[in-house]
Amino acid sequence: MNDDRLVTSHDDELSTEQNLSGPAAAQKIAEMVNAGNSCFFCTLGLNSQLHARPMTVTEVEEGSGALWFFTEIDSLKNIELDRDPRVTLFFKEGDNAGHLKLDGEAVQVTDPATIQRLWSPKMRAWFTEGVSDPRICLLRVDPVSGEYWDNRHGTVIAGIKMLFGAIVGQRVDEGVHGQLKL
């Protein structure tokens, strides 16, 4: 496990650099995704341009940081992933909270047992035939690397600190930033 910490000073305020790898990186991914499980899921489009769409994480695997998503087997994103399985995911917890960027590879999974395990009744809004809908496909994204910005004080405190900083014209503690390597 790699846990490199570097504290840097910007205008008399401290910012912490904390790079994580292996299980520590997977744990950070789980913490940040569980706090805000919607993301922009980006693929390389058919026109060779970045194609982003909002998606919701169904599960984060403990230990590996793998992310699971439901999608339609014949979706444009699956066609794009057939051409190039590399993806980038962008998460944002809230206005004054954390941000996470992950790069990885997506694998399409149609295993009925895995679909059943991850299924929830709200998925019926997209898959009207229920858990046995033939259009269901899961995407497992295996992160390779990433970057995070984590506000260690929480949204409310961060908002108050930003307001105070704006009033007095002083930089505030920006939290923790680091690279992730899995």
pLDDT of residue 45: 95
Q: Report the CATH number at residue 95.
A: 2.30.110
Mind listing the pLDDT tens digit for each residue in 22-34? 999 999 999 999 9
pLDDT of residue 36: 84
The answer to whether the CB of 61 falls within 8 A of the CB of 33 is no
Q: Is residue 36 in a domain? A: yes
Does residue 43 belong to any structural domain of this protein? yes
Residue 120 falls within a domain, yes or no? no
- What is the domain range of residue 50? 3-64+78-108+141-181
Residue 73 lies in a domain: no
Q: Is residue 117 part of a domain?
A: no
- Inform me whether the pLDDT recorded for 4 exceeds 60: no
| Angle at alpha carbon of residue 167, lines to 162 and 169, rounded to 5° | 85
Burial 20-48 (b: 16+ CB within 10 A, else e): bbbebbbebbbebbeebbebebbbbbeee
pLDDT at 62: 92
Domain membership flag for residue 173: yes
pLDDT in tens, 104-117: 999 999 999 999 99
Beta bridge partners of 90: 40, 101
Quick check: is 119 in a domain? no
Cα 117 to Cα 61, 65, 113: the distances in Å are 13, 18, 6
Evaluate if residue 53 carries a pLDDT over 90: yes
Q: Are strands 136-150 and 67-72 parallel, antiparallel or unpaired?
A: antiparallel
Number of structural domains in the chain:
1
Residue 125 belongs to some domain of the structure: no
Query: Scanning the structure block, which residue is given the tokens 């995070």?
Result: 148
